[in-house]
Amino acid sequence: MEGGKPLVLIPFFSLLKRASCILGLFSQNPAISITENVLHFKAQGHGAKGDNVYEFHLEFLDLVKPEPAYKLTQRQVNITVQKKVSQWWERLTKQEKRPLFLAPDFDRWLDESDAEMELRAKEEERLNKLRLESQGSPETLISLKKGYLFMYNLVQFLGFSWMFVNMTVRFFILGKESFYDTFHTMADMMYFCQMLSVVETINAAIGVTKSPVMPSLIQLLGRNFILFIIFGTMEEMQNKAVVFFVFYTWSTIEIFRYPFYMLYCLDMDWKVLTWLRYTVWIPLYPLGCLAEAVSVIQSIPVFNETGRFSFTLPYPVKIKVRFSFFLQIYLILLFLGKCWLCNRLFPVLSLEGRVK
């Protein structure tokens, strides 16, 4: 005290610098304001020299916002001054020489490289969070898989149901006459369903479903060979009655199989449908095999007559190999393959039927 008046002293000022703000640590009971880019500080405090007034003025290098924020603690005052433009300054004050009372707080100092690392860490944390959200929880993935399988089975069921109902109605109205134009009325839908059935084999191969891959693949190749090669490439075969029986047996099997899978996706069990799914295929599967074999046998003379897919071996053999030769081999493979599938499917389906 001098003449009864408190001394006017400059407080110790530790500086913590960031790209968008400046933080200072001061003493108690402050009067803080910013005018014309100058920070004005005045406070009454008790220090080594007793009760005194602490005061200073600090002109910043660049523009700052005129509303400083501060937080009062028992030991200090934390002041935050926001820059008008978020950028790095080469120094704090307008004067080049740093004021003596101003000292950086190196424990909390943040330079440009530190800020970049901090921003990078925050960005990585944000990306990791987005990645986890995009992957979803196991329950979400299971729901998505069930929804996908339900829609696939629904589309297949609608396609085969349309063909089954259409062929049944046409048979009751037209009788045997409906046999001979079955291909022209049903081919587009059958093409669609059989091409879509490739998804079923892929699902089994990649583990989306627990179905065995080989039976699904053999059935896919066998049906598509009959549909695209025997019927699709030979107009003479498209007007035969055997087309009706092939398409009808295929459709009858599938109108029970796909609804069963749909209910399975919903964790539901309808005992009547379950019984039909594990029973109807037993007579229909051999009938379908027989119809496919008849179509191959009927196509042999047609391929011999047209010479389609036949070829001649190069010199010096020069033997003409008819496609009918491969069809005869296919007949043998057809019966062997169907017998193998029956041996594989019968115990599996019977066991599943008992479990259900």
DSSP 8-state code for residue 99: P
Mean of pLDDT over the chain: 79
> For residues 153 and 197, what is the distance between their CA atoms, to the nearest angstrom?
10
Q: How confident is the model at residue 285 (pLDDT cuts 50, 70, 90)?
A: confident
Output the pLDDT for position 92. 72
Q: Is residue 244 exposed (0-12), middle (13-18) or buried (19+ Cβ within 10 Å)?
A: buried
pLDDT tens figures, 208-217? 888 888 888 9
The CATH T-level fold of domain 8-108 is: Immunoglobulin-like (2.60.40)
Q: Judge whether residue 13 has pLDDT over 80.
A: no
Q: Which two structure tokens, joined as six digits, stand for 29?
A: 């009971």
The 10 Å CB-count burial string (b at 16+, else e) for 199-217 is ebbebbeeeebeeeeebbe
pLDDT tens figures, 217-273? 988 999 999 999 999 999 999 999 999 999 999 999 999 999 999 998 888 888 888
Residues of CATH 2.60.40.790 domain(s) within the chain?
Answer: 8-108
Q: Which two structure tokens, joined as six digits, stand for 240?
A: 């035969």
| Active-site residue, from 54, 261, 285, 330 | 285
Query: Distance of alpha carbon 286 from its chain centroid, rounded?
Result: 40
Query: Could you tell me the pTM of the whole model?
Result: 0.60
Residue type, 188: D
Residue type, 202: I
Provide, for the chain, the percentages of residues in helix, strand and coil under a 3-state DSSP scheme, each rounded to the nearest 5. 60, 15, 25
Mark whether 285 is an active-site residue: yes
Q: Kindly tell me the sign of the dihedral angle through the C-alpha atoms of 246, 249, 252, 254.
A: negative
Q: Give the count of alpha carbons within 13 A of 317, CB side only.
A: 7
SS3 state at 38: strand
User: CA–CA distance from 138 to each of 132, 135, 141, 142, 151 (Å)?
Assistant: 11, 9, 5, 6, 20
Output the pLDDT for position 179. 94
| Active-site residue, from 67, 292, 315, 330 | 292
> For residues 316 and 206, what is the distance between their CA atoms, to the nearest angstrom?
47
Q: Judge whether residue 75 has pLDDT over 80.
A: no
Q: Please indicate whether residue 297 or residue 17 has the higher confidence score (pLDDT).
A: 297
